[in-house]
Amino acid sequence: MAASISSHRVSPGHPFSFPHANVYDDSRAAELSHLDYAGDCYMQACFYRWSFAAALLSLMVAVEPRRGEASDNVLSPEEAKSGWILLFDGKSLNGWQTSSGQPSKVPIEDASINPHGSGGYMMIHQKTWSDFVLALDFKISKGCNSGVFVRTFPLTPRPGKDVGFNGIEIAIDDTTTAGYYDTGAFYDLAKPRENAMKPVGQWNHMVITCDGPKLSVELNGKLVTQTDLDQWTTPNRRPDGSEHKFDIAYKDHPRAGYIGLQDHGSQCWYKNIKIKPLKR
């Protein structure tokens, strides 16, 4: 009788073992050795199959859009059903022009409107709007100075003034403070409660509501600014009596006008621009 095999392990690295103190002859040992090798090959083949399947699954997950993840510059079925209107399709500037009545000199960039260098004080949507909820995403550049205008009317500037005096601006600036000239403010009129803007290069979501005299701004899910224009009864004065630059009593400001994206000397990108008219 030849030597016996009495170890748990049949071969190095094999995941299976055999009982102690069993004795086999040479032919049996050779057979086991052959089976051991075949088993190793089988396990390696399984390992490679599993690895390939896992890699393929990872690739599919990475490529497949996440369920429920909204695409840019489109309306969801729920938005369309509830009355939202898409103002920018991400592919063309149809419906948009400069506030001076000319086409923009700047093409669409990354499915976004960049008013900087457009050739006008602001890019405006060609239709006037009165009471509405306006939603959009924006991304600032370093040192950015821009803004979203609502109820801008008319588009002809008054002598010695820019067309911005004919609208109400929601400021967008590369700052971290929360004053009259910081992001979310009604420019020089009402301060935001906080500066909820994300850093340069990140997209922000802004919602502006104009409902009669009541205006509000939400930034990244936070209500930051509110005002009631009926309380603005005196030119150059806020309701608390402090001074501002505009020679307008805002209770008498037009309640309908153009939506504008300001070019104030720096790049700022806008997308997912949509509006929901409000019925009064």
Given a cut of 90, whether residue 37 has pLDDT beyond it is no
Given a cut of 90, whether residue 240 has pLDDT beyond it is yes
Contact 5, 28 (CB under 8 A): no
Q: In the prediction, which pLDDT does 18 show?
A: 39
Residues 228-247 have a mean pLDDT of 98
- The predicted-structure confidence for 57-91, as pLDDT tens digits, reads as follows 444 433 333 333 469 999 999 999 999 999 999 99
- Residue 165 DSSP symbol: G
- The predicted-structure confidence for 96-142, as pLDDT tens digits, reads as follows 999 999 999 999 999 999 999 999 999 999 999 999 999 999 999 99
- The predicted-structure confidence for 8-23, as pLDDT tens digits, reads as follows 444 444 444 434 444 4
Quickly name the fold that domain 77-277 has. Jelly Rolls (2.60.120)
Task: Tell me the residue type at 207.
Answer: V
Q: Considering only 40-54, 67-81, 158-172, 248-262, which range has the smallest mean pLDDT? A: 40-54
- CA dihedral for 253, 248, 101, 87, sign (positive or negative): negative
Given a cut of 90, whether residue 53 has pLDDT beyond it is no
SS3 assignment for 8-37: CECCCCCCCECCCCCCCCHHHHHHHHHHHH
The ranges assigned to domains in the chain are 1-64, 77-277
Q: In the prediction, which pLDDT does 40 show?
A: 57
Q: In the prediction, which pLDDT does 280 show?
A: 75
Q: Which of 143, 101, 125, 166 is nearest to 275 (CA)?
A: 125
